[in-house]
Structures are given as C-alpha cells and as structure tokens.
Structure 1
Amino acid sequence: MRLRTTLAAAALATAGGSIVSAETLRVVEVLTTNERTGLMNEIVAAFEADHPDVDVELISVPWDSAFERILTMTMSGQPIDVIEMPERWISTLAINDVVRDLEPWLNEWEGAEQLTDATMDFTKIYDDTSYFVPYGYFVRALYYNKPLLAEAGYDAPPETWEEFNEMSRAISEIDGKYGYCLRGSSGGFVGWWLAVSAMTGADSWFEEDGTSIFDSPEAIKGIQMMLDLYNDGAAPEDSVNWGFNEQVSGFYSGTCAFMDQDPDALIQVRERMGRDDFAVAPVPIGPAGQISPPIGMIGWAVTNTSENPELAEDFIGRLLAPEVNLEWAKFMGIVPAVEIPADDAYYNDPQFAGFFTELEDDRWDLMTWPAHLPELGEFFDVIAVETSQAALLGQMTAEELGQEWDTFLTAAQQRWMSEQ
C-alpha cells in the first residue's frame, strides 16, 4: 500500500504543461498483469484528479500479440495518444509516421534533467530522433535453482556455456526435472542470441558489409546447441510454446533449474520461492571469454494522430517523474530511467548482483538490438518465433534456421545501408 500511495502522491506533483480543454487520452499498455494494470489505474486516477476535464482510457494489449495488434490499430486509424513499447518497434512505427518527435518537449520539460544520460541518449536510438522515452531497462541474466543444483552435485552456477550444457543435462537426469526453461514462443529469440553470441563472440548481428553473422559456422554451432538442449530432453517438451509467464512458472515451480530472464521476473519468483532457494548469476560466457547479452528497454511514445499531443506529453511527464519512475521500476523489477540513489536498499539487494555484474564487467559486452531496422519487430516477434519453433520440432536443421535468419536480416541491413 505504501508503494501505491507514494506513486499516487508523486503523480499529483506538477510535471509541466497545462491542459485547457476536456479530452479523452487513450493510452495503450502492453506489459499487462492484473497487478501492474491496477497500479497504472491508480496513477491514472491521480492524473485525472489533477486534470478534472481529462478522461484517460487505458487500453491493455497482451504482450505476446502486442506488436501485431498495435500495427493493426495504428494502421487502421484507431485513435491512440500514448503507446507503451520496446525500442525494437520504433523503426517500424516511425517509418509509417505513427510516432511523434518528442525532442521539442524534452528540451522544454524540466523533468528531463533528472533522467540519466543513457536515457536521454536512448531516446534517439532510431534515426537520431526522440521518438520515445525509455522508462526502464532489461538486462538478461541467469536465474538458478539452488536445491536442484545441489541435488545434481553442484554448489555454484555455470560460468561458461560448456558448464551450462553439462549441468543442464545432469539435472535432467532427476525424475521430473529439467535443466533449462526454454522460451520457445514470443520473446524467445533472446535465448538463441545468447547461444550465438557465446559461440561467435559477436557483439553485433552484422559484419561491416551488412551481411549477418547467423549463417557462420560458429553461429550454427550456437543454434545447434539450443536444438540439442531441447531434443536431448534438457528442456521440457512443451517449452516450445512457452512465453514469458510459462517460462517463469516453469522456474519457480521447480520444473527446471535454469532460466535466462530480465529483472522483472524477480517479482514472481520472489513471491513463490524462498530467498535461499534461488539466485541470479551473469549469463555464462563463451569460448572467447565474453558474451553480449542484450540490454532492452521499454518506454512511452506519443502518436502523430493524437488530437492533443501536449496532454499526452504531460501524461508521460507524470510517469517519468523521479518518484514515480523509481517506484514504478521497483514494482516491475527493472532498472529505472532516473538515477538510483546510492543507498537504495532495493537495488542493493544481493539478488541484483548478477545483473549489475554484467553492467560493470567488460566480459559482458551489453548490446542494444538493431533498432534502426524497420523490419526488427517483424523479425523478433514473428519470423524468429515461427522458424525457431519449426526447428525445435524437427522441421528445419540448424543450418537452415541460420540461413533463414541470415537471408532476412542481411537484406534488411543492406537495404538500410543503401539508404544512408
């Protein structure tokens, strides 16, 4: 209750701008849970109380279908003012003139000075234009089940992918248990990238000439490693269809010992597992002694079709106010867009150590997705899912999967390069 009271009170604080006419503000949220939507409703109520002539309509779109749903909504002309989105959708929406440049507002908004330098830089992740403002960051690390590791004879998490493969198979020898919580459905490409990055040592999807790395022998080895984990029974058979919730449930239920996930999964895991039963380590490194986990981000954008963009910007300003953003990030389990106080007990918790190791140690060379590509959302949320599932089900080989990704991504990158 204290968290929600703090957020509501902070949201009432002035964040800039004045609204003059009765309006309906339509806000699309995509990271939907009953708890988070409830929290958003309280922030909305506080905003409406400060703007008596404003009615905020909150539109919740399930994450697993959000990219395609938002494309349909925006392309069909459905009225939307504010969109919650990851950075990988920006290029697609910007190319289609859906999202508004927020730089003029950021230059005037007093709250901008309280955002981190990285946040201000990331507003221009596509085309050097501030099409969105991140409110938080996701860093992928390795969750592990301590009792399951101990039962299999291990007292520490894997440091390398060779150790990860060995441990996963050993744990899978325990009746009814598996080593790896594979995420085969929406969002599952991250796991494939970790395997490819580990085997290639690459921190980018592309060579200088625009060709992708995904059909290289090292990349194919990483892809084959993922297929072998599944086909050898080191991952649950139904994990080919697992999304976020199924993967996290598979971990906290004790079905499998390892899960690569972002800090937002900590919320569900902490609620259902004892603090001594799990921990979070950096993702295992590859033969080259390094790996490039993705640093993802989620934020707010204003549409070009908004009838009152100033109102929409004011609403974003409320959500990004330091008190609101810091508590909102804690509620979601992500790294906030504002500076973290040095004495903050939440982020100094040892369970965050794995994430911060990756942020501070050069062996983990964090990368951002190639958000400059208009095709990124389609690849990540549609093509990568469909083709990797086909490979897991024996309908494609590792070589064919790598070539499929290479063909699509090389064409996209070289097309982008030709337009520069």
Structure 2
Amino acid sequence: MKIRSTLAVGLAAATALALTACTGGAAGGGEDAGPVDTSGELSGTIEFQTWSLKNEKFTPYFEELIAAFEKEHPDVKVDWIDQPGDGYQDKILSQANSNTLPDVLNLPPDIAFPLVKAGKLLDLDKADPGLKELYNAGGWDAYSNYSGVEGTYGLPWYLGSDASWWNLAAVQPYGITEGNLPSTTDEWLDTAEKVATDSDGKVQLVSSMPGLDTFVAAGLPVMEADGTFAFNTPEAEAIVQKYADAYAAGAMPAEALTGSYAGNAEMFLQGKVAYTTGGPGFAGDLRTKAPTLADTSVATARPGTPPLFVQGINISNDSENKETALAFAKFLTNEENQVEFAILTGGGFAPGTAGGADEVVSAVQADLEPAQADAMALMFESLPKAKATPFQWTGDMSTYFNQQIALAIKGDMTPKDALDKIVDYANQNRIDQ
C-alpha cells in the first residue's frame, strides 16, 4: 500500500464551483452544522467508503472492525464500499453532484477540498469540539487550513513521512561519518559542496531540486492567512542560491534539472548519488534492488520540519444519520483501532492519533531488518512536528516551479526573479478562488 499521491487537484478546483452550484451547498459545513450527539442509542444503516483497501491484507481487518461496532450497536448496519485506486477523485465528485456520497468516506485533504467548499462535509469542530486533542496536530491542521472556510473536515487516519538516507561508504573518504552527518538544510548543502569539490564531482549529495516542501522544512512561511502564496522572500532566495552554488561545485547531477529525471531514490539505488529521501520501506528497496548499498546506507531524520502525508476519514454533511456516521468514524479512528491498522502495514504508516506510535514500533520492529526498523522509528518520532504541503499547491504549480528553479540553479536567472515568477503564477492559478 502506498501513500496516495496528489490527484489532479486542478480538476477538483475546476469542478468546485460547479459542484457548489449543482448542490446548492454553502461553503463549509452547511447552515445546519452544529453538535452531533453520539452518546445515545444508535440505529440505522450507514455506508462506509474506502479507497483501494479491499484486499487479502486489509479486508479481514475491516470486516472484524465493522462486526465489533455492530455488536456494540445492535441496531446499526455498516455497508462497506471500496473504490478502486484509479479515478477515485472523479468518483467522489460524481457522488457529490448526484447527492449519493457515502455517510463515512476516506479522503485526503486535497480531494476533500471541493466538497468542503460546497458544504458537503461535516464540520467536526462544531460536531464534536473535543476531538482535536485526540489526533495528530499536523494531520488535524491538514483538514482545518482551507482558506476562506472555518472548521475542520476530516479525522486523521493513517500518516506517513520520510527520512534522509546516506551512503556512508561513498562519503567516508571525505571525512563524513555517521557521527557527523549534517542535520540542517544549510549544513547538508555546505557538506554537499565540500564533498563534490574534494571528490572532483564524483560524489554528489544533492539528488533533487528544492520544492515547496523545502521551504516548509526550513520553517519559512509559504502562504498568507488568506491563502495567497508568498514564498518569494530573501530567506527562500538564499536557499535557492545555496542549491545553485552546490550545482556549480558539481554536487548535483545535471539530469536532476531535466525532464529525464528518474527521481532521487532511483538515482541513489543506481549509485549515482549518495543521498536521497525515503520512507521506512526504502530499506526493502535497497535490499532487493541494490544489496551492496543496503549494508552501507543509514537513515537519519529529515532536516527541519519533516513532510507529512495524510489520509483521513470524513462525514458527509448530507448524511441522514450523522450520529451513527460520526460514532463509526470515531470508532474507526480511535487509538486502538488505528494502532492495529498501522501494525498491519508493518509500520509503513503511523496512526493519525496523538498517541499509539510507540505501540506500533514495539509490535513490528522485531520483524524488520535493522535499517527499516530504525527508519520507522525516525518517521514516527518526526510526526508530532511534521507538516503537510498546503493542499492549494497543485501539480501544475510544481511543474512551473521546477522549470523556473532549474533556470536559477543553472545561473540563467536570479533566485529572486525565479521565485517572483513562481509566486505570481501560483497566485494567478489558485484553486481556492
């Protein structure tokens, strides 16, 4: 199972206004949003929809969980629906337009956005104000930071992040050991430049261009409170310039700036670079695809603020049985059930609750090879401070970002001009207006 990548967010933007018009929904949780009491007797049938999770590994888990909830509430029936991975966003928008959204469904923050704008999802802040403290802070914020809309529209379910991976055998001849690996972006770029110079460009530690997440990791604000992109700052310029300096010193493969780029993980596996990023499962890739690197590679925490990949559980605001739907959503995402699900993933994902990570680590680390166990522990430790990339950042924006930043790194444009152009492009193509 993989973290679901951002799916055609531009499509969501294009259909958001049409969705609002077709459904007549109000922005946010709808005019009737308010407390939802789940403490009374529950009854009725609700539909629960997941995204490509009905398989040999996870079907028994969901069947047992649903049976447990139905046993606790004998007058309730939960109908489980699973949608295939491809075309999921199209399916969600079709369901919303036809007023057939399931009562409880699984949406990442970006796919949830048009439904939030159309008033199709329940505001959980109003439904149950005590929920926030039970969940991972970054995961909760990912469903709360919808510009122009108050409220929270998803319960964090399963989360991911990644780590830094280093080929120690490649860098040790240049004085870099596990004990003195860089821990900040500045230190990493300085080290990359030094190693490239000392090795005559044979050892390269910059395996990809910076992205918006680079600025997030550095603690730089990337958006104003109203959703306007605003990362064309002197601090961001300095980061881009450091990449340009590293590139000039031979610390970065030229192909990382082109359309033929295969990705930093693939380049690491091929031995072309000595640094990459990846989750705990990358240890398995090393063992199967590059066994000679597996014994010389080590994972460390990502510098600065780590990235956060979020999946959540949402409630349809059109549900005729919000009490049962919310009760089931809370049951599905409580710490006990989230821990069990994360254990089932082998520690590849962490629970979206405020606690429970230690239980997952203890349960699965004995079955993992040391490198994977260490990477999992690093990922879990990073989650309390991890942050998701803003949902407004689209694939088109990322493509334009890469084009302009590549010019700046090569010296064909100043970092300031590149960032000014990117911010202007992003604000002209905002999906939340």
Q: TM over 0.5: same fold?
A: yes
Give the 3 Å change call, closer, same or farther, for CA 207–385 of structure 1 in structure 2: closer
Match in the other structure for 1:234:
252
Structure 1, gaps ≥5 residues long: 1-14, 285-290, 361-365, 371-375
Match of 1:345 among 351, 362, 373: 362
* 1:33-44 → structure 2 map (5 Å cutoff): 38-44=56-62
Give the 3 Å change call, closer, same or farther, for CA 328–107 of structure 1 in structure 2: same
Match of 1:272 among 262, 267, 286: 286
Q: CA deviation at 1:95?
A: 1.7
Structure 2, gaps ≥5 residues long: 1-38, 71-75, 366-372
* 1:246-257 → structure 2 map (5 Å cutoff): 246-252=263-269, 254-257=271-274
Say which SS state the counterpart of residue 384 (structure 1) adopts. helix
For 1:356 and 1:73, the matched residues in 2 are separated by 36
Give the 3 Å change call, closer, same or farther, for CA 280–45 of structure 1 in structure 2: same
For 1:27 and 1:237, the matched residues in 2 are separated by 38
Aligned residues with identical type, % of pairs: 16
Q: CA deviation at 1:258?
A: 1.9
Q: Which of these two proteins has the greater Rg computed from alpha carbons?
A: 2
Q: CA deviation at 1:234?
A: 1.4
Q: CA deviation at 1:133?
A: 0.6
Match in the other structure for 2:232:
215
Match in the other structure for 2:214:
191
Query: Are 1:98 and 2:98 counterparts?
Result: no
For 1:146 and 1:210, the matched residues in 2 are separated by 42
Q: CA deviation at 1:131?
A: 1.0
For 1:208 and 1:115, the matched residues in 2 are separated by 25
How many equivalent pairs are there?
A: 359
Question: Contact between 1:87 and 1:298, CA under 8 Å: does it hold in 2?
Answer: yes
Match in the other structure for 2:424:
407
Q: CA deviation at 1:154?
A: 1.9
Match in the other structure for 1:182:
208
Give the 3 Å change call, closer, same or farther, for CA 174–340 of structure 1 in structure 2: farther
Q: CA deviation at 1:401?
A: 3.3
1:39-71 CA-partner distances (Å, limit 9, x unpaired) = 333333335656696542211336xx87x6577
TM-score by length of 2: 0.62
1:175-197 CA-partner distances (Å, limit 9, x unpaired) = 9874234278xxx5323544xx3
Query: Are 1:115 and 2:134 counterparts?
Result: yes
For 1:242 and 1:307, the matched residues in 2 are separated by 51
For 1:255 and 1:346, the matched residues in 2 are separated by 36
Match of 1:319 among 324, 332, 341: 332
Say which SS state the counterpart of residue 281 (structure 2) adopts. helix
For 1:209 and 1:317, the matched residues in 2 are separated by 31
* 1:13-412 → structure 2 map (5 Å cutoff): 18-21=42-45, 25-28=48-51, 38-47=56-65, 54-61=78-85, 69=90, 72-73=93-94, 76-77=97-98, 79-81=100-102, 82-87=104-109, 91-103=113-125, 106=128, 115-116=134-135, 118=137, 122=141, 124-126=144-146, 127-139=149-161, 141-150=163-172, 153-156=175-178, 157-168=181-192, 170=195, 178-182=204-208, 189-191=212-214, 193-194=216-217, 197=218, 202-206=219-223, 213-226=230-243, 232=250, 234-235=252-253, 237=255, 246-252=263-269, 254-261=271-278, 265-270=279-284, 272-273=286-287, 276-284=295-303, 291-295=304-308, 297-306=310-319, 309=322, 312-330=325-343, 331=345, 333-336=348-351, 337-340=353-356, 345=362, 350-351=374-375, 354-355=378-379, 366=385, 368=387, 376-378=390-392, 380-391=393-404, 394=407, 397=413, 398-407=415-424
Give the 3 Å change call, closer, same or farther, for CA 49–94 of structure 1 in structure 2: same
Q: Which amino acid aligns with 1:339?
A: G
For 2:267 and 2:340, the matched residues in 1 are separated by 28
Give the 3 Å change call, closer, same or farther, for CA 282–149 of structure 1 in structure 2: same
Question: Contact between 2:65 and 2:332, CA under 8 Å: does it hold in 1?
Answer: no
Question: Contact between 1:114 and 1:338, CA under 8 Å: does it hold in 2?
Answer: yes
Match in the other structure for 1:288:
none
For 1:359 and 1:101, the matched residues in 2 are separated by 24
Q: CA deviation at 1:128?
A: 5.0
Question: Contact between 2:163 and 2:378, CA under 8 Å: does it hold in 1?
Answer: yes
Q: Which amino acid aligns with 1:61?
A: G
Match in the other structure for 2:368:
none
Say which SS state the counterpart of residue 266 (structure 1) adopts. coil
Question: Contact between 1:27 and 1:59, CA under 8 Å: does it hold in 2?
Answer: yes
Give the 3 Å change call, closer, same or farther, for CA 334–269 of structure 1 in structure 2: same
Q: CA deviation at 1:121?
A: 6.1
Which deviates more from structure 2 when the two are superposed, residues 249-258 or residues 321-330? 249-258
Q: Which amino acid aligns with 1:158?
A: P
Give the 3 Å change call, closer, same or farther, for CA 403–56 of structure 1 in structure 2: same
TM-score by length of 1: 0.63
Q: CA deviation at 1:267?
A: 2.3
Q: CA deviation at 1:163?
A: 3.9
Give the 3 Å change call, closer, same or farther, for CA 149–238 of structure 1 in structure 2: same
For 2:247 and 2:101, the matched residues in 1 are separated by 41
Q: CA deviation at 1:325?
A: 0.7
1:279-302 CA-partner distances (Å, limit 9, x unpaired) = 332334xxxxxx444555432112
Give the 3 Å change call, closer, same or farther, for CA 384–266 of structure 1 in structure 2: same
Question: Contact between 2:136 and 2:354, CA under 8 Å: does it hold in 1?
Answer: no
